[in-house]
């Protein structure tokens, strides 16, 4: 069910079987503290959406490894950020071309928090141009209430925390430097602030949270929750139709 591995002759049938749907994973490449690889976000996006694609039989587009990470500053090496406008345009272009291949239900699955605003802009542009295309942006940390709770348990402005570290220990252990976990904790300093500050002004080491308490066992359970709850959302979306059939472009129904 991987778009990149299907031929042009095979794609139409796969898309039709999936009710004209596709999953587009997007992550980021950015510093994740001293204890975790910089590709954590896109690795999670790829692993999560691969599992969900298998469960739902919805084709998965290639994972986007770069995101809007400019808030991480240039204090620590490793971040490869693109500007919000660049991300908007890239997602619009990918959505346009997916539409021309037959996609009418696009599930954008985002594993990096500050991609959310540019992705929402791309969503607005896609649905305004393509009257019969439905687009959603699903932020992985908020797939469901139980997923939200474990992501935010050790900090509202979490990053490279217990949740992310446990998920990597369970799904991609090569990404974690376990010998450094006990020295990586850094608290959330954003409570009560009026402004949104870049990470260089809120963290001493690029971490917000307590990776020292992460475990493989927690990560296994949490990852399974994410697969189950994201699969359920996508299966629901495969059946959804607009509440009204009115055209975007005129006062006529479609």
Beta pairing partners, 209: 186
The full set of domain ranges for the chain reads 3-235
For domain 3-235, the CATH architecture is 3-Layer(aba) Sandwich (3.40)
pTM: 0.96
Rounded to an integer, what distance in angstroms lies between the CA atom of residue 34 and that of residue 37? Answer: 8
Q: What is the pLDDT of residues 35-59, one digit of tens each?
A: 999 999 999 999 999 999 999 999 9
Each residue's pLDDT tens digit, 93-139: 999 999 999 999 999 999 999 999 999 999 999 999 999 999 999 99
Helices 216-239 + 162-171 axis angle, to 10: 90
Q: How many CB atoms lie within 10 A of CB 71?
A: 17
- The tokens for 177 are 């430097």
Which residues of the chain register pLDDT less than 50?
none
Q: For residue 253, what pLDDT is reported?
A: 64
Q: Over 26-82, what HEC string results?
A: ECCCCCCCCCECCCHHHHHHHHHHHHHHHHHCCCECCCECCECCHHHCCCCCCCCEC
Give percent helix, percent strand, percent coil of the chain, each to the nearest 5. Answer: 50, 10, 40
How much is the pLDDT for 254?
A: 58
Q: Look at residue 250 in the predicted model and tell me its pLDDT.
A: 86
Per-residue confidence (pLDDT) for residue 251, from 0 to 100: 83
8 Å CB contact between 59 and 53: yes
Which are the contacts of 8, defined by CB distance < 8 A and separation ≥ 6? none
């Amino acid at each position: 069910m991987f778009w990149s591995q299907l031929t042009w002759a095979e794609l139409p049938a796969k898309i039709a079987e999936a009710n004209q749907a596709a999953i587009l994973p997007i992550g980021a490449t950015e510093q994740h503290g001293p204890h975790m690889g910089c590709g954590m976000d896109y690795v999670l996006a790829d692993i999560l959406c691969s599992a969900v694609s298998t469960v739902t039989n919805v084709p998965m587009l290639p994972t986007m490894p770069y995101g809007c990470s400019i808030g991480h500053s240039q204090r620590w090496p490793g971040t490869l950020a693109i500007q919000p406008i660049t991300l908007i345009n890239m997602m619009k272009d990918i959505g346009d071309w997916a539409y021309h291949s037959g996609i009418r239900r696009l599930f954008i699955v985002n594993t990096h928090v500050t991609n959310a605003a540019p992705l929402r802009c791309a969503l607005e542009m896609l649905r305004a141009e393509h009257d019969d295309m439905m687009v959603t942006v699903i932020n992985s940390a908020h797939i469901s209430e139980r997923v939200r709770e474990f992501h935010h348990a050790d900090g509202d402005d979490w990053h490279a925390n217990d949740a992310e570290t446990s998920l990597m220990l369970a799904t991609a252990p090569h990404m974690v430097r376990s010998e450094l976990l006990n020295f990586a904790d850094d608290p959330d300093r954003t409570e009560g602030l009026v402004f949104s500050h870049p990470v260089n002004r809120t963290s001493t080491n690029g971490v917000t949270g307590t990776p020292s308490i992460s475990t493989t066992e927690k990560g296994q359970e949490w990852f399974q929750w994410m697969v189950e709850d994201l699969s359920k959302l996508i299966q629901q979306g495969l059946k959804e139709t607009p509440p009204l059939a009115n055209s975007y472009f005129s006062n006529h129904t479609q």
